[in-house]
Structure 1
Amino acid sequence: MALGWTDFIAITAVVFVAQSVRFGFDTEPSGSAGLPVTAISICLIVAWMVALRVYQTLDRRVIGSGSVEYSRVVSASLSVFGVLAILALALQLDVSRGFFAMALPVGTVALLVSRWLWRKWLARRRSDGDFIERVLVVGETRSATHLISHLVARPELGLHVAGACLPTARMRPAETALIVDDAEVGVFGDFDDVGAAVQACGASVVAVTSAEALGHAGMRELSWDLEKVGVSMMVSPGITDIAGPRMMVRPVAGLPLLHIDKPQYEAATRFRKALVDRGGATVMMLLIAPVLALIALLIKLDSPGPVFYRATRVGMGNAPFRMWKFRSMYRDAELRKQELLDQNEGSGVLFKIHDDPRVTRFGKLLRRYSIDELPQLLNVLGGTMSLVGPRPPLPEEVELYDGRVARRMLVKPGMTGLWQVSGRSNLSWEESVHLDLSYVENWSIMGDAAILWRTVKAVVTKEGAY
């Protein structure tokens, strides 16, 4: 309810500000339709609010998690203005295009910022134990443990594991405990005890992780029983690293089958991403050109050597390229690397050391705020990198890839990515690869926008940077 009122306040404020900027305080009829300006504004507000409801932006299942919430807000905003443009053209209404051109982007940004602020507030409250749903996990021990581990690690999702029903409970005393990541989860029997377990642990949601173990009849009867007591049911498809936009339930011969779309990094989608990359890099280069020149001067004054460092990395399709960076080390860094191998703190083939003695005084500042990576905008303009993507791998790292890991080479590496906003140097090699694969499998424009937003926070807080 509060979120809906916030949407209404944001839209109303933006629309009437746009009206006052475009028309002043004149409320006389505007355009060939002869409608008062205020009437047009009210119609726009109503249409916008209706569009937000049609796109289910207040669905509690998407509020506070993932990029779907933001995507729905943007889609609703674009659709309402698209419909209004069509009506204006069909009815030959001579309304001010400047008014709508001002209200659309500002209003959409206001809604997104409002949602983001609410999400931060909700995450804090959920971490404190408020606004949560109690979940009963039902399934085989292995799959149930996997889901419980994810939910325990993400308290901001608001899904608190209240208990579990496992087939192994038949061989152990009732109400024993399952230990997952130092969290103790009560076991309330086996699959035949789900109804009683819901009442015992006060669950409002039942999450089934092993539908095949319950069988078709068991799943149907369970859904009916839960419907009677007002408890919702979630079913895990048993597929990891696949996000919602690629999944769709498709009824076939009376059976609900989960349809998994191909990863969206081909044809028109790739062209759209390239357009965003080139346009964004061009704007950023123009805006920060004076800053880049100043940094180059300071590098030259700090230590002898070139301004830039060009490292060999492997890009899309295993094609090698030269990646631009500001030099942050002394010229003999590669020669001194052999002397420091015993101090390596990196994972896999990555070489990392806290307080690396090869880093220059000014280079430490560059690395702390990831400023040394700004020249990679040249790679984005040249088409070898993207603004957002997997981490650019070393050639020797790619040689060790198996078939699973090699999928990260299906897209261009990025200046930033999930690895950048999830810990950077604090991540293990396996964790970095997992995040890269998740990005490749579930790429979307809105996901890229969310990562860019989170990158700003990661850079400012210096999280995982050294």
Structure 2
Amino acid sequence: MATVGLSSAGVRAHAGKRPSHFDGENRGAHSQPVNRPFRYRRATAAGDLLIAAAAAGASWALSRENVDVAIALNAIAVGWPLVLTAGSGRPDRLFGVRNTYRDVLQALAGLLSVAAIVSALLSVPLLGPAFLVTAAVLTAGSVVVRLLVRRRLGRLRTMGRATRRTLVVGPAAGVAATLDRFTQDGEHPLSVVAACIEDDGTAPPASIPVVGTIDRGLPGRDDALRDEEMVQAVRLAAQRVRARAVCVTAGSEFAGDRLRALTWMLGDLNIDLVTDLGLSDVAAHRMGLGSMGSSVLLHIKQARPTRLRLLAKVVTDRVLATMILLLISPLLLGIGLAVKLTDSGPAIYRQVRVGRDGLFFTMFKFRTMYVDADLRRAELLDSGDNDGLMFKMREDPRVTRIGRVLRKYSLDELPQLVNVLRGEMSLVGPRPALPEEVAAYDSTARRRLVAIPGMTGLWQVSGRSNLSWNETVRLDLRYVDNWSYGHDLQLLGRTASVVVRSTGAY
């Protein structure tokens, strides 16, 4: 008869070594034995109240000569936190702050509508300078509060704090795949402390303790009894490790009514339930939840930017590139002169790269190597830090002294602004590839060519030359599949910080 229960081997593993790689209580926080939660919902609410008090004070100071207007504006300021709460302006208790701007802007739109109606019905001149100041303080203040809370939450999670102790449930292969995706870049709200394995004969991952096993049922076994046994096995495993969340992996037997029963049980214990669908690198704005009949459906929207958004990207590229070139023209002349004085070669290095849809173009850079660098490349292939299709070398003897400085701060990339003006590149996009790299692309890597290559991108702000080939491809595909105009602006801001710190540059 099939059995469902706790694995004694898993218990021993849990009692012995607890890998800090997954356990948020230990990761980066050895001096603090307890993983104290960050009450980000309370922090956001407290911030909204402070902003409301500041707005009320400002509105009273500006409109105290008109008592009716002052009272109305104070009422608006006091009601602002309630409007945000009604509009789901609070962060999710598991994943933290989301939709930093949308909820605040929706609350602002509602505020403007109410103010206009009250002003018309009661003949109170609300829509004046005092109202504009009040609305500006409320809107800007609430956005800043959410940005600060989100930043604080991200830092704590980087240190392994403000996370939820999580039990992973599923077959061994599904658990291993989930753990692999969990350890990739980004925030980590879940701290995986143990696994409950659905035994299919496959060896469980050795990186975390296994505190529960669920054997596969035999034909003819009573389904209702098996469902109850499986749910109880997860309950015992979750209670053993004091889990605050349970993650069901792809390929798990928990589906349909069985998953619903698991939800009820965990709800009674105040334990959160999440499911890993096996998807990777899909942005939140591409996902939508819906229903049909009694089924809950997840809609993955296609990455098809509208013509208007693409036009906005092109216009932004050209305008910013023109402005930057005009502002830094003295710097460009100085760098060009310094490169020229290094040896007798040209200041600008021209190299053929592959652009959108596989079209070749000539990319411009300040020359950072000696003039015979391309001829010497073959003799250095065996001594380089090769990874996949990329040739990298930390101490490349072909790089000049001035070239090392230019590479450290990415100053050698500035002439690519000309490529942006010509429409061959964008300010933000995938890494521009060499023809020999593209010739060896598989079907997955070739999707990078859907977008215009960029001067910066996710690869630039995530490690630059420190990234492996597979990581570079994954980040470029994440950018291509999840592109948005707002994300481009965020990447431009993050690039400045990375360049100043010279992270991953050599």
TM surpasses 0.5 = yes
CA contact (8 A) 1:152 1:160 kept: no
TM-score w.r.t. the length of structure 1 is 0.83
Matched AA of 2:318? R
For residue 27 of structure 1, what is the aligned residue in structure 2?
63
Among 201, 207, 212, the alignment partner of 1:188 is 212
Give the CA deviation at 1:241: 2.2
Map of 1:22-421 to 2, 5 A cutoff? 26-27=62-63, 36=69, 40=73, 43=76, 46-47=79-80, 50-51=83-84, 54-63=87-96, 69=98, 72-83=99-110, 95-96=127-128, 100=132, 104=136, 114-152=145-183, 157-168=188-199, 178-180=205-207, 184-190=208-214, 191-192=230-231, 193-210=233-250, 213-421=253-461
CA contact (8 A) 2:345 2:370 kept: yes
Change (3 A) 1:239 1:433: same
CA contact (8 A) 1:152 1:161 kept: no
CA contact (8 A) 1:418 1:439 kept: yes
List per-residue Cα deviations over 1:114-165 (Å, max 9, x = no partner): 5454444434434555322111111111121122234356695231112211
CA contact (8 A) 2:52 2:138 kept: yes
Matched AA of 2:291? P
Give the CA deviation at 1:347: 2.1
Matched AA of 1:58? P
Query: Can you give the 5+ residue segments of structure 1 that lack an aligned partner in the other structure?
Result: none
Q: Which has the larger radius of gyration?
A: 2
TM-score w.r.t. the length of structure 2 is 0.77
Matched AA of 2:386? G
Matched AA of 1:405? A
| Counterpart secondary structure, 1:309 | strand
| Counterpart secondary structure, 2:458 | coil
CA contact (8 A) 2:87 2:106 kept: no
Find the aligned partners of 1:77 and 1:396 in 2 and give their Cα distance.
48
For residue 429 of structure 1, what is the aligned residue in structure 2?
469
For residue 19 of structure 2, what is the aligned residue in structure 1?
none
Give the CA deviation at 1:171: 9.3
| Counterpart secondary structure, 2:461 | coil
CA contact (8 A) 1:421 1:455 kept: yes
Find the aligned partners of 2:352 and 2:55 in 1 and give their Cα distance.
48
Find the aligned partners of 2:315 and 2:143 in 1 and give their Cα distance.
23
List per-residue Cα deviations over 1:180-223 (Å, max 9, x = no partner): 3xxx3333222451111121111111111136522422112111
Higher relative contact order (CA 8 A, sep 6+): 2
Find the aligned partners of 1:360 and 1:14 in 2 and give their Cα distance.
57
Query: Can you give the 5+ residue segments of structure 2 that lack an aligned partner in the other structure?
Result: 1-41, 215-229
CA contact (8 A) 1:48 1:76 kept: no
| Counterpart secondary structure, 1:347 | coil
**Bigger Cα displacement from structure 2, 365-374 vs 450-459:** 450-459
| Counterpart secondary structure, 2:92 | coil
**Bigger Cα displacement from structure 2, 185-194 vs 220-229:** 185-194
Question: Identity of aligned pairs, percent?
Answer: 37
| Counterpart secondary structure, 1:365 | helix
Find the aligned partners of 1:163 and 1:82 in 2 and give their Cα distance.
46
Q: How many residues align?
A: 444
**Bigger Cα displacement from structure 2, 233-242 vs 115-124:** 115-124
Matched AA of 2:433? P
Find the aligned partners of 1:114 and 1:328 in 2 and give their Cα distance.
44
Give the CA deviation at 1:346: 3.0
CA contact (8 A) 1:138 1:210 kept: no
